[in-house]
Homo-oligomer: A and B are copies of this chain.
Amino acid sequence: MGEHHPCRDDFCRDCDRFGAWYRLTGTLEEARGKAADLCLEQTVEFPSDLVPKGFIQDQVVGQVAEFVPVEGSNGLEWKALITFLNDDTGIELTQLLNVLYGNISLKKGFRLERLKDCFNLWNRFKGPRFGEPGLREITGIHHRPLLCTALKPLGLSAPALAEMAYKFASGGIEIIKDDHGLANQPFARFAERVEHCVEATEKGSRRAGRKILYAPNVTAPAGELERRAHYAKEKGAGALLVCPGLIGFDSMRALADDDGIDLPILAHPAFLGSFVTSRENGISPFALFGQIMRLAGADSTIYPHFGGRFGFTLDECKEIVVGSSINMGNLKPIFPTPGGGMSLKRIPELLEFYGRDVMFLVGGDLVKNGSDIEDNSKHFVEVVEKTSL
Contact = CB atoms under 8 A, between A and B. Distances in A.
Interface of A: 37, 41-47, 49-52, 55-56, 59-60, 87-90, 92-95, 97-99, 101-108, 150, 152-156, 179-181, 183-187, 219-224, 243, 245-248, 250-251, 253-254, 269-278, 281-283, 304, 309-312, 363-364, 367-369
A221 B271 contact: no
Listed from nearest, the 7 A-B pairs whose CB atoms lie closest are A248-B248, A105-B273, A44-B153, A102-B270, A106-B273, A56-B155, A60-B155
A276 B281 CA distance: 11
A185 B87 contact: yes
Given A45-B154, A46-B153, A274-B282, 7 more contacts: A52-B155, A94-B247, A102-B180, A102-B271, A107-B309, A222-B251, A222-B253
14 contacts: A89-B183, A92-B224, A94-B183, A94-B246, A95-B184, A95-B246, A98-B180, A98-B270, A104-B273, A105-B270, A105-B272, A106-B311, A107-B311, A274-B274
B95 A181 contact: yes
A151 B104 CA distance: 19
B304 A156 contact: no
Nearest to A304: B106
A247 B248 contact: yes
A45 B153 contact: yes
Contacts of A223: 254
A271 B105 contact: yes
Contact of A90 (B49, B183, B367): B183
A89 B347 CA distance: 35
Contacts of A363: 45
Contacts of A367: 50
Given A154-B44, A248-B246, A248-B247, A271 B187 contact: no
Contact of A51 (B49, B153, B243, B248): B153
Contact of A278 (B99, B101, B277): B277
A224 B250 CA distance: 11
A154 B274 contact: no
